[in-house]
Amino acid sequence: MNRSRSLSVVVLLACAGWSLPAAAAPVAAPIKAGRAAARIVLDGRLDDEAWVLAAPSGPFLQKDPDEGKPASERTEVRVAYDEDALYVAARMFDSDPKGVVRRLSRRDDEPDADRFVLYLDPRHDHHNGFEFWVSAAGVQRDAVIYNDSWDDFSWDGVWEAAVAADDQGWTAEVKIPFSQLRFAAGDDQVWGVNASRYIHRKAEEDWLELVPKKESGLASRMAHLEGLQGLNPRRALSLLPYVVARSEFVAPAGSGDPFNDGSRALGSMGLDLKYGVTSSLTLDATVNPDFGQVEVDPAVVNLSDYETFFEEKRPFFIEGSPIINNFGRNGCNNFWGFNRSEPDIFYSRRIGRAPQVPAEGTYVSVPAATTILGAAKLTGRVNGGWTVAGLEAVTGDETARLAEGPLRSTQVVEPLTNYLVGRVQHDGERVGLGLLGTSVLRRLDGGTMNDLLAQKAWVGGVDGYVFLDKKKDWAVTARLAGSRVEGTRSAMERAQRASQRYYQRPDAPQVELDPLATSLTGWTGGVNVNRQSGTVRLNSALWATSPGFESNDLGFMSRSDRWGGHAVVDYRKTDPDRYTRSRWFALAKWYSLNFANERQGDGLHSFFELQFRNYWWLGVNAWKRWQSLDDRLTRGGPSVISPAGWGGELWSRTDTRKRLVFRLDGTYFENTAGTTEHMFSATVEMKPASSVFVSFGPSIYELRSAASWVTAVDDPLATATYGRRYVFGELHQTETAMTTRVNWILSPRMSLQVYAQPLISVGDYENLKELAQGRTYNFNPYGTGGSTIAGGGRAYTVDPDGSGPAPAFAFGNPNFNFKSLRVNAIYRWEWRPGSTLYVAWTQQRQDLGDPGDFQLGRDASRLFQAPGDDVFLVKVSYRFGR
């Protein structure tokens, strides 16, 4: 097939295969809420007067395993309220009460047990809402609903639940203070409401208002909750002061290190505040926050030229983040990516990041992170249906301590910085519109900081969506943003030379390095068209990021100077047959180009997944990439050919409800230049008791690269490569890791979690060579054709033409043997609602010996013998408020 027509063919296949939308399930009868005349005792037993008088809802319908059929077990839901809170009672009848699974889990983890979930849309805007989960073991989980069908489990509401068991099944009572919800004042209100129940042993999911699996929507697909009269929104107010004690035992870098005697003790305190500015706007603020209780990041070996992305784990920045992070992602409910170089406008881990300015000395003490002096965010809704979100944070300047013999000095390694983010969006029935802006302002006092960091950075953008039909089957989502950064000439030249841009590329007519520039501007944008319900669906996109766009001061981007598009057609069959419960297949065609219209990627992907009758899964993926150019392999040099290649993935998973679960995943890739890459991982999950969860498993990765980057050296005589020699090597990399997690749940509010990751990654570079000519994949091996190479210990010396005029040069041996062990143990006790005790221990070990030589037994032994850095932390918080 002519590849230039492949994208159109995929779209035509989609259009040819449309099926009629599934018939809508009958709308559930409204639930009538009654005002409680007497106090409701939250004990899980439904003997209060309010529950005796309230009419039960029902019936429920199956979503799984037999969609649309009546639930196999009866469920009743009752709702009551008083001046302060909404109460919900659920009775889950069960013909086999002893078969109810009551396995414990940590709060906010998905419970591996029978459960009941309540969904609310208090504003009845059909777009946003709340979820309240409670398992048969009494474990709570909560989330907010946004973009109609997406949920964000980072939200932590303060609410209560109680469960009980009897000979008819189990029951649950939920109390949700009105201060935790957002709704408008009104004498006679109607809310959106839905409920679901999961019967673990049957893998059965039942819903009050059923949303068919081939359709989309959650907030827009709720029943009505009526009878709410005389409600007044409550303004939440809570203060959460906390104290932290920390002990660090860090192996000294050397016997003479004046900044580290092996141990130190620290103490600090801070305050979190949550206040309802209005009934719909909430202010969150923090002073001197401490996040020592969050899980450590995994160790990684990154040989690329772009930064590793780590997920945000700090609670203050996680909660409410979808309002900002959904820029350009409303309307459509899924976004595929194939080499899609669209940047994130906001990446909260920039706030409190590690200092960016290097400090050099015989002994150096540098803070691990920048201190967040304070931060505040405002989220909620205002008149006219607008959702707003704003965040401001200030980080202090950080100073490194230096020692050179008897001399002591200091150096500022991070300036005082102000971060600001603002977001507004309006969600209509068929049309939505939003704005987003970010600002970074640094106080630069001269010196090295002025040469490395931008003084000012702004990004501003607009996004929106349109549903093309009343059923919201077809959606169009678009976004457009511009950026501007300002700084000294040195800082802006550094930004132009950064790996996101490489303005110095000698064969790129679309960019030009400007050493006199004091600012950098650019834009990014994209449009998505989805058919997001039915048996056959379509996902398509066209996107672009100009060479000068920059969002890394408060966002995350790996590439600019890119544009491209894709089309995905997927077919899903959710009705069980003789062998399977569901089948899914997708076919995707994609392209990626730079702004000189040179193809940087050209591929075809296929995906196939099956769920068998026994709830096992099997997936097979395959892909093909055609030859294209790569304008980044030489890291600022000329483009080279990216050879054609192909690959595949095979994965499987057993029934996750069982006490023993296995997950297997293997991938393979090869290209026409001889590069091969494969990965295998296996995970075993064990549930030896209802309160214990253990997962562990090895992963093995092996790469044999025909040409991996080593370094570049200036040489005017290298005319075929524009005055530089680009050195590569054939890399053989072997990496193995064993990730282990142990969760011991002592009660629904008390848990101990342990995470451990030993990792060994070894790289051996052979047959060192240099690029022979730009826009080829040809290389001149050193030691042939008159060139010489010597060394191999810590460094190599190369003479590219032997006795010729080209000068010899030296570079360090790129071989490596990175051994890392990271262990994290966290004890958490929520000793009263909203008040928590954390006890955490973190250990890190690292060894770099024997570069290039992989011996698993020896390397593992060296790893566990390496000196360890230990940190012990105790953090106590107490919540005051309503």
- Are the CB atoms for 187 and 230 separated by under 8 Å? yes
**739 belongs to a structural domain:** no
When pLDDT is cut at 50, 70 and 90, the band that residue 800 belongs to is very high
For residue 638, being part of any structural domain is answered with no
**Segment holding 315, helix H or strand E:** helix 315-318
pLDDT higher than 60, residue 15 = no
User: Where residue 219 sits, what CATH number does that domain have?
Assistant: 2.60.40.1190
pLDDT for position 11 = 40
Please, what is the average pLDDT of the chain?
91
Phi, psi of 375 (to 5 degrees): -150, 150
| 567 and 425 within one domain | yes
Whether residue 223 is found in the same domain as residue 315: no
Q: Are 738 and 758 in contact (CB under 8 A)?
A: yes
Please tell me the predicted confidence (pLDDT) of residue 882: 66
Distance CA 215, CA 232 (A): 35
**Residues 180 and 318 placed together within one structural domain of the fold:** no
Band the pLDDT of 253: cuts 50, 70, 90: low
Last residue of a domain, one of 209, 231, 253: 231
Instruction: Give the pLDDT confidence score for residue 333 in this predicted structure.
Output: 82
Residue 22 has pLDDT above 50, yes or no: no
Instruction: Give the pLDDT band of residue 254 (cuts 50, 70, 90).
Output: low
Q: Check whether residue 171 and residue 35 sit in a common domain.
A: yes
**Secondary structure class of 856 (helix, strand, coil):** helix
Residue 532 inside a domain? The answer is yes
Q: Which two tokens stand for residue 771?
A: 């690029």
Please indicate, yes or no, whether residues 205 and 323 belong to a single structural domain of this protein: no
Both structure tokens of 555? 């966002």
| Inside any domain, residue 688 | no
* Mean pLDDT in residue range 79-108: 94
Asked, for residue 389, whether it belongs to a domain, the answer is: yes
Residues 437-476 pLDDT 10s: 999 999 998 888 999 999 999 999 999 999 999 888 899 9
Chosen domain end from 216, 231, 246: 231
Q: How confident is the model at residue 10 (pLDDT cuts 50, 70, 90)?
A: very low
Shared domain for 47 and 145, answered yes or no, is yes
Residue 9 has pLDDT above 80, yes or no: no
Does 573 lie in the same domain as 463? yes
pLDDT digits (tens, 9 = 90+) for 656-704: 999 999 999 999 999 999 999 999 999 999 999 999 999 999 999 999 9
Same domain, 205 and 59: yes
Burial group, residue 21, by CB count within 10 angstroms (0-12, 13-18, 19+)? middle
Tokens of 341: 């170089």
> Does residue 242 belong to any structural domain of this protein?
no
Q: How far is CA 837 from the centre of its chain?
A: 26
How does pLDDT run across 703-742, given as a tens digit for each residue?
999 999 999 999 999 999 999 999 999 999 999 999 999 9
What's the rounded Cα separation, in Å, for the pair 79 and 85? 11
Hey, what amino acid is at 656? T
Residue numbers of the domain that contains 321: 311-584
Number of domains making up the chain: 2
Task: Summarize the confidence of residues 483-499 as an average pLDDT.
Answer: 97
Contacts of 821 (CB under 8 A, 6+ apart): 756, 757, 758, 759, 843, 844, 845, 846, 863, 864, 866, 868
Which is nearest to 219 in space by CA: 86, 332, 130?
130
Please give the torsion angle defined by the CA atoms of residues 588, 591, 592 and 596, in that order, rounded to the nearest 10 degrees. -170
Residue 826 lies in a domain: no
pLDDT score, position 634: 98
Residue 485, domain member (yes or no): yes
End residue of a domain, out of 584, 601, 624:
584
432 and 562 co-located in one domain: yes
User: What mean pLDDT comes out for the span 105-114?
Assistant: 90
Same domain, 226 and 326: no
Number of CB atoms found within 10 A of residue 689's CB:
12
